[in-house]
Structure 1
Amino acid sequence: MKASQIFSDFLKKNHLYPIFGNPGTTEIPMLSSVEDYVLTLHDSISVAMADAYAQFSGRPSVVNLHSLPGISNSMAFITSAARNHSPVIITAGQQDRRHLYYDPLLSGDQLGMVSNYVKYAYEVRRPEEIPLAMKRAYNIAMTPPFGPTFVSFPMDIMDETADPIETNVAGHSLAALTEDEVREIMERVNSAKRVALIFGSEIDAYGAMEDARNFAHSLNVPVYVEPWAQASSYYKDDLYVQDLPPAFSAMNRILEPYDLILFIGSDVFVYPYTGEDPQFMDRSIFISTQSGHYVGETYFSDPSSFLRAAVKYARKKEWIKPNRFPEKLVYEDIIAKVHRHLKGYTAVDEAVTASGSVRKYFADGPKTYFTSRGGPLGWGDAAAVSVAMLKKKTIGIIGDGAFMYTPQSLWTAHKYGIAAKFIVLRNNGYNILRSYSRTYGYGVEDREFLKFNFNIEKIAEGFGSEVRNYEAESDLEWINEGDAPKVLVLDVDNQIPDLF
């Protein structure tokens, strides 16, 4: 069997279609038998699409990059996939090994380039081992903590024939504590007077939203959500207090009254430096599969396994009034209006200035909210398109600066008939940076390099989307209609927000 067919058969057998990618000459041999390929107009877009696709589906997705140049183009979103703990299998072609000595065009140290940001990196040496390499990439990607893996395919190997080494994928993503460990943790929870729960994005990743609610109500204690959660973490019921701000000074004030803080599937993500270290770690227990920045006591377990085992030991406590921190929400009235018209939609959020408002209204249940913790802009455009492949009711809520990084994502939506919808908040500036500058006294908030003006309407039309400017609430009904990709441009004020 030809190596390219071995590769294709593995993808089909293990339900790994579609592949997201942007191919080049080095990939043509490995793609000659591939059946389902979603083309993007830039390598990086394919990685962001695969990242969000994997998060929503809960299974590995596959990316195909164009050797060293394509990997280089995609490094920002490869690091995002790593930070997002997304099980993405990244593949790339490699130059023909018979002339690598001469450093031909498109060749290079692909494994070295990605190795710091993937859990496994391997270059195939023989055609018959392709299923083994892909199986290992699959299993490692799905071993907690989830994360991207990488397999390189030299061109000459993909033209060879061999009898494949048959293998089956049987990944197991759960990681449970012993019953004694669970009982010991719950004895401490039950004996503590003032307990707070902090739920995080792993709750959604492991389908544990109902488990989280049942556990919280069995204890009757305040519930917070981790700072800058990348996915939904808890239903917004009467126990929910607020999302923790991504700054230790604020977290310290909120968590000061509690003598035990239980972080479940969550981390202590921070953004601005506030001159304080965390003062709650000696009273904290972290239960997670991720290797977060935990200084307190830690246990390696997925949240679903822990919550289902722990709930039977939970004893209800007398309700205490929780500490709250004033939330600095931007464009809240606008996002609330959007949510009223688009209930039931999953929001892909890259409206950085307004992210707090988007989380407040949309992150209220399983698979209702996604963003990226990686940092590079442009993730949201691509992610909204791939999530819309799995759930028709998907809305990308994107800032105008972020939107301009990967607007080519709209072309992919148009080409494949994906009903991705977008609301672009246009404030003509990097307002989170302007806010940071004003708050911390850098004095560049009114400089021209933090301002811009784009004709988003023509750009979106050029990539095949239907476009409107927001004039009335009926425009929110318009974006809800039909299966074509649509963009609604909503002009908002350009006043510097108070974010820090």
Structure 2
Amino acid sequence: MTRRASDVLLEILRDEGISHVFGNPGSTEMPLMDALVDASDITYVLGLQEATAVGMADGWALTSGRTGFVNLHAMGGLGNAMGVLVASKASETPLVVTAGQQDTRHLMTEPWLSGDLVALAEPVTKWAKEVRRGEDLGAALRRAFEIARTPPCGPVFLSLPMDVLDQPISGSTPAASAAPRLGASPDSDALADTLAGFDPEKVIILLGDDLPASAAPGIVAIAEAGGYAVWGTQLTSRSAFPSAHPCWAGVFKPDFAVMREHLETAQALVLVGGRAFVAYPYRDVRPIPEGFKVLHVADNAEALGREHPADAALLGNIGATLQAAAIRLSGLVKGPEVAARLARRAATKRDYEAAIRAQIMSDMTELPLSPDAAVLTVSDALPANTLLANDSAATFGKVQDILTTRPGRYFFARGGVLGCNMPAAVGAALLHDGPVASFVGDGGAMYSPQALWSAARYRANVLFFIFNNRRYGVLQNIARQLGCTNAVAGRFVGMDVNDPPIDFQALAASMGVPAVRADAPDAIRAAIVDALGRSGPTLIEIAVK
């Protein structure tokens, strides 16, 4: 049977579980657009700028647990998407990113819209290739999906010349390789034996920022088996532990000195996943004290020992490894003592969170609200099934210690790239059964406001919260911390966004999104009730100090 290469592409997308293709088309993508005309089971999600398309695919992939698929337009389109691809690589989001290339029959003449797409994509992807024959497309796609979802996950890239997709090919569609099943580490019992030898109060579990939600049951099991404190990182790309759990102690700020202060109270660290030690700005401090025992559990060899030498390195499925270790540990420790320790942690956590809440609530009468007060008001008003997509520094204060996060329902734009959060929220909303809240600052909102249009077009149930202080507050805070001339002089060059002020209501309205400004707590709560009562997106702007 003879088919076009583009037909094989669609067969593989269906087999890989792709229900949505995210993109912004151009003339070099016409063969794919033509193939999608009769593909009613695959939704093409249009982003008005390529960074928005990649951001939506990122949110879709993180929410679904599958690999997202993106189609961009030629060299320029790939260039527009580069910033968000930096973030997707940092977050280890599995994506297959494609871009149309000019017809191979005249590439030698360097025609308009041509370029070395592979060279451009290589720094921000795990793997990048150009397909030069229709016969190779199926195998290339299968390889791309496999590489993208193999830990450490991340985006891959395929350049697709427009004539290649139209080429007739014969033979069957290449089958997907059997998925490897990574089981528990054979050293899980040894991990439990080692932990049983430590004072439980001197053991800390620290979560890296690359953990899937599926690892959460194992992490909870090992924490409960020993009654251990569990910490995360402030700049984590996703949540793998419920913040309401008694063992949840909070997040390490991105400061090596602060991390060391916490760790100096302990003797052993169970490091789960990778990239737990992320700091900015630089400090001449080692975060892990000398003589400290590091027990590292990861699902890929690249993570082991990357940040600190491990005294024990366990390679395997993270959830299964920790579940197995928890079962053995339960038989080595005294159950009543563990139960008492968990009860103490719950009481301490309850008292601490009540104190933090009282401090924040004391600021509720003064307008504009503090970032803590604004975020707490919003968080309290959102229903329990809300998925939170966050890249706002408004959440970095005291409120972070009481912010509700759940595995699979919290994502953060970890890569330090603004413009990811709003489109990611739209992509997540295409799958999530419930509302999606996007927390973003006024500066970050202007990096990909096109996400508002896509949210309106696809009736995405997203509540966009713009915490507006009319400045790049993070930059000003860092300048103060470092004693920069900007801060000393009180003249922050290029860090104010107040003249002219951005009219977010008008911006949202121009893209079909209802919008309201709500500055006081009662007004914020009322705006959220209204937004939850309608189908589709809403933008809520909140002025903050």
**For the structure 1 residues 410 and 361, does the alpha-carbon distance in structure 2 shift closer, same or farther, using more than 3 Å as the test?**
farther
The AA in structure 1 aligned to 2:207 is F
Structure 1: distance between partners of 2:10 and 2:473: 46
What is the deviation of 1:408? 0.6
What is the deviation of 1:275? 2.1
Contact preservation (8 Å) 2:240, 2:408: no
Structure 2: distance between partners of 1:149 and 1:187: 40
Q: Deviations over 1:166-217 (max 9, x none)?
A: 22225636534542x11222221111232111124444x1412232222201
What is the deviation of 1:358? 6.6
Q: 1:389 aligns with which of 395, 413, 430?
A: 430
Q: Does 1:378 align with 2:419?
A: yes
Contact preservation (8 Å) 1:231, 1:363: no
In the alignment, which residue of structure 1 is the partner of 2:107? 100
In the alignment, which residue of structure 2 is the partner of 1:301? 316
Q: Does 1:150 align with 2:192?
A: no
Give the % identical residues: 26
In the alignment, which residue of structure 2 is the partner of 1:197? 205
Q: Deviations over 1:307-357 (max 9, x none)?
A: 122111214476499999999996222222111210321111121243456
Structure 2: distance between partners of 1:165 and 1:280: 58
Q: Does 1:412 align with 2:454?
A: yes
Q: 2:260 aligns with which of 239, 252, 261?
A: 252
Q: Deviations over 1:21-51 (max 9, x none)?
A: 0011111123311232111000111111111
In the alignment, which residue of structure 2 is the partner of 1:365? 406
Q: Does 1:223 align with 2:244?
A: no
Q: 1:279 aligns with which of 264, 271, 288?
A: 288
How much is the aligned-residue C-alpha RMSD, in angstroms?
Answer: 2.5
Q: Does 1:19 align with 2:21?
A: yes
The AA in structure 1 aligned to 2:284 is G
Q: 2:468 aligns with which of 426, 429, 450?
A: 426
Contact preservation (8 Å) 1:62, 1:88: yes
Instruction: Tell me which moved more, 287-296 or 25-34.
Output: 287-296
**For the structure 1 residues 83 and 417, does the alpha-carbon distance in structure 2 shift closer, same or farther, using more than 3 Å as the test?**
same
In the alignment, which residue of structure 1 is the partner of 2:536? 484
Structure 2: distance between partners of 1:16 and 1:357: 40
Query: What is the DSSP-based 3-state SS (H/G/I as helix, E as strand, rest coil) of the residue aligned with 2:430?
Result: helix
Structure 2: distance between partners of 1:248 and 1:173: 37
What is the deviation of 1:277? 2.1
How many residue pairs match? The answer is 491
Instruction: Tell me which moved more, 346-355 or 382-391.
Output: 346-355
In the alignment, which residue of structure 2 is the partner of 1:498? none
The AA in structure 1 aligned to 2:74 is S
Instruction: Tell me which moved more, 355-364 or 191-200.
Output: 355-364
Query: What is the DSSP-based 3-state SS (H/G/I as helix, E as strand, rest coil) of the residue aligned with 1:306?
Result: helix
**For the structure 1 residues 40 and 162, does the alpha-carbon distance in structure 2 shift closer, same or farther, using more than 3 Å as the test?**
same
Q: TM-score normalized by structure 1? A: 0.92
Structure 1: distance between partners of 2:247 and 2:16: 41
Q: Does 1:442 align with 2:494?
A: no
Instruction: Tell me which moved more, 322-331 or 353-362.
Output: 322-331
Contact preservation (8 Å) 2:256, 2:283: yes
Structure 2: distance between partners of 1:265 and 1:461: 43
Q: 2:395 aligns with which of 350, 354, 357?
A: 354
In the alignment, which residue of structure 1 is the partner of 2:363? none
Q: Deviations over 1:126-182 (max 9, x none)?
A: 212222111111111111111111111111112211114422225636534542x11
Q: TM-score normalized by structure 2? A: 0.85
Contact preservation (8 Å) 1:119, 1:149: yes
**For the structure 1 residues 5 and 139, does the alpha-carbon distance in structure 2 shift closer, same or farther, using more than 3 Å as the test?**
same
Structure 1: distance between partners of 2:218 and 2:185: 18
Q: Deviations over 1:376-421 (max 9, x none)?
A: 1010110111111111310101110000111111111111222221
What is the deviation of 1:361? 4.6
Q: Does 1:460 align with 2:505?
A: no
Q: Deviations over 1:421-470 (max 9, x none)?
A: 11111100001111111111103143251111311111111111001110
